[in-house]
Amino acid sequence: MSQVADTALTLLERLKTGETTAEEVASRLLARAETLRALNVFVHLDGDRVLEQARAIDARRKAGQPVGPLAGVPVAIKDLLCVEGEPTTCGSKMLAGFRPPYDATVISRLKAAGAVLFGKCNMDEFAMGSSTENSAYGPTLNPWDQERVPGGSSGGSAAAVAADLSPLSLGSDTGGSIRQPAAVCGVVGLKPTYGRVSRYGLIAFASSLDQIGPFAHDLRDTALLLGVISGKDPKDATSVDAPVPDYLATLDQPPARLRVGVVREFSGEGLDPEVGAAIEEAVRVYQRAGATIVDISLPHTRYGVPAYYLVAPAECSSNLARYDGTTYGHRATDFSPKYPGEENLPPLLRMMMASRSEGFGAEVKRRIMLGTFALSAGYADQYYNKALQVRRRIREDFDAAFEKVDVLIGPTSPTPAFKLGERTANPLAMYLSDIYTITANLAGIPGLSIPCGLTKAGLPIGLQLLAPAFAEQSLLQIARVFENATDWHTRRPSLS
């Protein structure tokens, strides 16, 4: 079944030799998407638009015109990236029917590279969640076990690659939303350094943490897609003007140094024993490859989740204030007074309140309330400002660690994919899915998850690798040492 989509690079090879066409590839994947509809990977997939793009690329190639590095390759897009004229919902009822008037920078770059945009992927509403169950459009199912979640919030993007519905996809990661779904869906997922990829056209959740990144089957494809989307963008003041190396061409160069730090705090309570065993095996793989293994402590790790759940909600409460029913998004039609005292409020205010009550789901409302409280006068010092101090300590932990090692490794997710509904009633249990991923966002450093095992029940396990800011090149090279020594990245779920 891995023959259906292959990797992007094998596909590119076959497109170049004329063995297949972009249209053929696209139609085959559209048919497969139809067969695998029950997975609920896409919230929007317009077959005609997909085929139209594919035919345009085929025509260019046939005419001998220059084509980009992704010419004819399907890329599925998380539904929080603006694509001109295409529905973009962010997994929310609030944005039902919204069609952005412009492309996100990453989308313009994909178009320029000749990629075929292959649908909009399901996600937790406004990227808040770890299971894709917070989507207003129903959960995505994990292709490895359809009773389980695909992780989140980029669950649709991870499942799209895992189920061979698209060789590549884009997601976003604010506290783990690329790496955790990649881990539990058995694919590669990379959160680049904050500032590596432009966020222009990414619908904001927490602007100081959000970053866009690739999903793929392996590191060669990951390197290829990262190269296409990286770089300075005048439309995003936080994007950084640092050189973009040729990640793909340099992937197979041996890493300059191979000092691997094993994070002490990324084990212990809450860590599934089978995940723990797979990580220990990964350490042995590096040992056999000649790496120096160093025991590393990141003492402030345990404050990561509490700090994140102040910083992220604080930023979201501000970012989501724009959804008030006045300019775009959901607008309530009935805003007659329903609660005592409401009749004294001006109708405009009642319209805003009703629109927000109807448009947002429970988790989004919880975050807005948390954030508004944490920022309110009299509490900001105790909560928000305290969280910023903790954030600084977490960054200092990483700075100290990277004096001694080139990469830090540990589990991506403390457990394999959990059952649908298992954590929905308990927000804290859900939040703890991200204990190992959240600190990288707070520090702004890049993080990668690669497949490193399967449980006895056949569920994928992910190995997380963290590197200093803008060290994506060596991060990928060091991960490649593991990928070359193992075959976990070639495993696929058995789907009809």
Q: Which of 74, 114, 175, 371 binds ligand GLN (CB under 6 A)?
A: 175
Cβ closer to ligand GLN: 76 or 352? 76
Name the nearest CA neighbour of 80 among 97, 63, 95: 95
SS (H, E, C) the chain: CCCCCCCHHHHHHHHHCCCCCHHHHHHHHHHHHHHCHHHCCEEECCHHHHHHHHHHHHHHHHCCCCCCCCCCCEEEEECCECCCCCCCCCCCHHHCCCCCCCCCHHHHHHHHCCCEEEEEECCCHHHCCCCCCCCCCCCCCECCECCECCCCCCHHHHHHHHCCCCCEEEEEECCCCCHHHHHHHCCEEEECCCCCECCCCECCCCCCCCEEEEEECCHHHHHHHHHHHECCCCCCCCCCCCCCCCCCCCCCCCCCCCEEEEEHHHCCCCCCHHHHHHHHHHHHHHHHCCCEEEEECCCCHHHHHHHHHHHHHHHHHHHHHHCCCCCCCCCCCCCCCCCCCHHHCCHHHHHHHHHHHHHCCHHHHHHHHHHHHHHCCCCCCCCHHHHHHHHHHHHHHHHHHHHHCCEEEEECCCCCCCECCCCCCCHHHHHHHHCCCHHHHHHCCCEEEEEEEECCCCCEEEEEEECCCCCHHHHHHHHHHHHHHCCHHHCCCCCC
Q: Which of 135, 153, 169, 473 binds ligand GLN (CB under 6 A)?
A: 153
Contact status: 449 vs ligand GLN (CB under 6 A): no
Contact letters for ligand GLN, residues 253-272 (x by CB under 6 A): --------------------
Cβ closer to ligand GLN: 8 or 316? 316
Q: Is 153 a catalytic residue?
A: yes
Cβ closer to ligand GLN: 174 or 474? 174
Q: Which of 78, 154, 317, 474 is catalytic?
A: 78
For the bound state, the minimum distance from the C-beta of residue 470 to ligand GLN, rounded and expressed in Å, comes to 20
Q: Please tell me the distance from the alpha carbon of residue 18 to that of residue 123, in angstroms, as a whole number.
A: 36
Cβ closer to ligand GLN: 205 or 247? 205
Q: Which of 167, 176, 255, 447 binds ligand GLN (CB under 6 A)?
A: 176
**Residue 124 bridge partners (DSSP):** none
Contact letters for ligand GLN, residues 92-131 (x by CB under 6 A): -----------------------------------xxxx-
Contact letters for ligand GLN, residues 288-327 (x by CB under 6 A): ------------------------x---------------
For the bound state, the minimum distance from the C-beta of residue 31 to ligand GLN, rounded and expressed in Å, comes to 31
For the bound state, the minimum distance from the C-beta of residue 442 to ligand GLN, rounded and expressed in Å, comes to 12
384-413: contacts with ligand GLN (CB under 6 A): none
Cβ closer to ligand GLN: 354 or 364? 364
Q: Which of 177, 193, 317, 464 binds ligand GLN (CB under 6 A)?
A: 177
For the bound state, the minimum distance from the C-beta of residue 177 to ligand GLN, rounded and expressed in Å, comes to 3
For the bound state, the minimum distance from the C-beta of residue 437 to ligand GLN, rounded and expressed in Å, comes to 8
Q: Which of 6, 103, 173, 324 binds ligand GLN (CB under 6 A)?
A: 173
CB within 8 Å of 54: residues ≥ 6 apart: 21, 22, 23, 25, 26, 72, 116
128-147: contacts with ligand GLN (CB under 6 A): 128-130
**Residue 293 bridge partners (DSSP):** 260
CB neighbourhood size of 174 (10 A): 28
Q: Please tell me the distance from the alpha carbon of residue 166 to that of residue 184, in angstroms, as a whole number.
A: 17
CB neighbourhood size of 395 (10 A): 17
Q: Interacting stretch for ligand GLN, rule CB under 6 A, among 174-182, 222-230, 325-333, 413-421?
A: 174-182
SS (H, E, C) 379-395: CCCCCHHHHHHHHHHHH
Phi, psi of 2 (to 5 degrees): -70, -10
Q: Interacting stretch for ligand GLN, rule CB under 6 A, among 98-106, 172-180, 211-219, 322-330?
A: 172-180
Contact status: 473 vs ligand GLN (CB under 6 A): no
For the bound state, the minimum distance from the C-beta of residue 205 to ligand GLN, rounded and expressed in Å, comes to 6
For the bound state, the minimum distance from the C-beta of residue 329 to ligand GLN, rounded and expressed in Å, comes to 20
Cβ closer to ligand GLN: 309 or 482? 309
Contact status: 434 vs ligand GLN (CB under 6 A): yes
Q: Is 177 a catalytic residue?
A: yes
Total of chain residues touching ligand GLN, rule CB under 6 A: 13
Q: Which of 92, 130, 131, 153 is catalytic?
A: 153
Q: Is 207 a catalytic residue?
A: no
Q: Which of 157, 169, 177, 198 is catalytic?
A: 177
For the bound state, the minimum distance from the C-beta of residue 90 to ligand GLN, rounded and expressed in Å, comes to 11
Cβ closer to ligand GLN: 271 or 438? 438
Q: Interacting stretch for ligand GLN, rule CB under 6 A, among 113-121, 170-178, 347-355, 486-494?
A: 170-178
For the bound state, the minimum distance from the C-beta of residue 130 to ligand GLN, rounded and expressed in Å, comes to 4
Site residues, ligand GLN (CB under 6 A):
127-130, 153, 173-177, 205, 312, 434
Active site residues: 78, 153, 177
